[in-house]
Amino acid sequence: MRHLMSPLDFTTGELDKLFDLANDMEKHMERYAHICEGKKLATCFYEPSTRTRLSFEAAMLNLGGQVIGFSDAASSSASKGESVSDTIRVISCYADICAMRHPKEGAPMVAAQRSSIPVINAGDGGHQHPTQTLTDLLTIRSLQGRLSGLTIGLCGDLKFGRTVHSLIHALSRYDDIHFIFISPEELRIPDYITDMLKAKGIPYEEVIRLEERIPSLDLLYMTRVQRERFFNEEDYVRLKDFYILDMAKLSLAREDMLVLHPLPRVNEISVEVDDDPRAVYFKQAQYGVYVRMALICTLLGLA
Amino acid sequence: MLNVGQIEEGFVLDHIRAGMSLSIYHHLQLGKLDCTVAIIKNARSNKMGRKDILKVECDINTLNLDIIGFIDHTITVNVIKDGKIVEKRRLSLPKEIKNVIKCKNPRCITSIEQGLPHIFVLADPQKEIYRCKYCEEKYRENHNYNLF
């Protein structure tokens, strides 16, 4: 029995299979509409995350399965002091597969150790959010046609951004990748990531301004620069506009560049960009459903 | 000078930092073994000023000394057979250590889950980096990790 704890749990070969399946589901939804009939997904969300939970639930419903679960710790037995280990042993009696989000890092791994059904980590604190990374990879592969030979710009909060760190690790397994990190000094990519890239011989650049390198990108992954991350208000005010993508900045980019964002977006991408064909962040949310469908089928041994 | 008799078969752990011998006794779970153990505390040492020594009389195949490699790899491990030192064993870093140090990350599941062992895994043998199995927080020696 397999679980999904980290995006690196699958080899690149296994990911190719998963993404092929997701693409086939995208094209032939009707073929998969009953594949999970009689199966139940438990969404155990110890902290609210409407987007991720609904994406999992939509995925299971698309496959003809059913969904049970809870959407915050207050409505679960955790409020009575039940451990994760005990909860998952009970959930294992009720459902066939479980997606778990928990504010404590490593909680889904504890669940996986005690579970008799596959457990998917649906986000554990600031640690991992593997289905977001799989979503990002599927979006890139589907819309750019490949995961190798890409120049990828990551923009915004690169210091604390969990999705960014996971994506870099996941992409660093492919050939001929070139990263361009675009962030203010305060929110630079951590050393342990750049050390990993150096060790693997993967080229990267660090720049302050988005305009500098946007013309060379195949892909721009935007994240939010949050006010509370700055030491003082002046720096925030001085720098925040550097990291807002608007049409003026996008006009410098290539016609085939893609703009991705894990969402929710606040103001880091102007709404005027939304109608540009390069803005694919809402398609990305759709790919999130396909990849979760493929994942559920794969972990249930139905694919 | 205190005299402690020779052992026929077992281990002499020498050059233990003064005061650390009871911790090593605990982590080697010597209390559970039915063997003779001598704990010498604060012995004079030319090299260290003061040191601790542990003498354990036991079958040399019964004791797993990996954990000492994690606690202090500078400890000298003399393997004794027939009353003589037959080997000075080099200590290696254990791949996994269980309930030796506690994860200090307040966001880690180990901070709330009852009965969960604290497990650290050797993430980088070259740089001697251990990470919590659950949250992957790096173990930092100078951060006063609680020993069990």
> Is A80 one of the annotated active-site residues of the chain?
yes
- Report for A5-9, A261-265, B17-21: range of highest mean pLDDT: A5-9
Query: ipTM of this model?
Result: 0.87
> What number is the average pLDDT over the span A118-126?
95
Confidence of residue A259 (pLDDT cuts 50, 70, 90): very high
Identify whether the C-beta of residue A182 lies closer than 8 Å to the C-beta of residue A153. yes
> Is A194 one of the annotated active-site residues of the chain?
no
Higher pLDDT, A64 or A50: A64
CA distance B69 to chain A (A): 25
Q: What fold, for A7-128+285-299? A: Rossmann fold (3.40.50)
Say if B133 is an interface residue toward chain A (CB within 8 Å).
yes
What number of other Cβ atoms are within 10 A of residue B138's Cβ?
A: 15
* Separation of alpha carbons B24 and B20, rounded Å: 6
- Domain residue ranges in chain A: 7-128+285-299, 131-284
Peptide bond into B106 cis (omega under 30): no
Which of A105, A127, A169, A193 to probe by mutation at the B interface, max B CB count within 10 Å?
A105
Identify whether the C-beta of residue B97 lies closer than 8 Å to the C-beta of residue B120. yes
Structure tokens at A95: 């459902």
Nearest CB neighbour to A110, from listed B105, B109, B136: B109
Determine the pLDDT at residue A161. Answer: 83
Say if A104 is an interface residue toward chain B (CB within 8 Å).
yes
CA distance B23 to chain A (A): 28
> What number is the average pLDDT over the span A276-295?
98
Q: Could you say which residues from 109 to 138 on chain A have a Cβ atom under 8 Å away from some Cβ of chain B?
A: 109-110, 124-127
Q: Is the pLDDT of residue A207 over 60?
A: yes
CA distance B135 to chain A (A): 5
In angstroms, the first-to-last Cα distance of chain A is 14
DSSP string, chain B: -------SSEEEEEEEETT-HHHHHHHTTGGGS-SEEEEEEEEEETTTEEEEEEEEES-TTT---HHHHHH-TTSEEEEEETTEEEEEEPP---SEEESSB----TTBGGGT-TT---EEEEEETTTTEEEETTT-PBP-GGG-PPB-
pLDDT in tens, A33-45: 999 999 999 999 9
Q: What fold, for A131-284? A: Rossmann fold (3.40.50)
> Is A265 one of the annotated active-site residues of the chain?
no
Per-residue pLDDT tens, chain B, 148 aa: give them: 566 778 899 999 999 999 999 989 988 889 998 889 999 999 999 989 999 999 999 998 888 888 888 888 789 999 999 999 999 988 888 999 998 889 999 999 999 999 999 999 999 888 889 999 999 999 976 545 556 6
pTM, full prediction: 0.88
Q: Indicate the helix (H) or strand (E) that contains A273.
A: none
Identify the weakest region by mean pLDDT among A15-19, A167-171, B56-60. Answer: B56-60
pLDDT in tens, A67-120: 999 998 887 777 778 999 999 999 999 999 999 999 999 999 999 999 999 999
Second-level CATH architecture of B10-89: 2-Layer Sandwich (3.30)
* Separation of alpha carbons A214 and A220, rounded Å: 8
> What number is the average pLDDT over the span A47-62?
95
What is the percentage of chain A residues whose pLDDT exceeds 70? 100
Query: Quick check: B112 and A104 CB within 8 A?
Result: yes
> What number is the average pLDDT over the span A159-171?
92
- Domain residue ranges in chain B: 10-89, 96-143
> Is A31 one of the annotated active-site residues of the chain?
no
Query: For B96-143, which CATH class?
Result: mainly beta
Q: Which residue from A minimizes the CA distance to B109?
A: A104
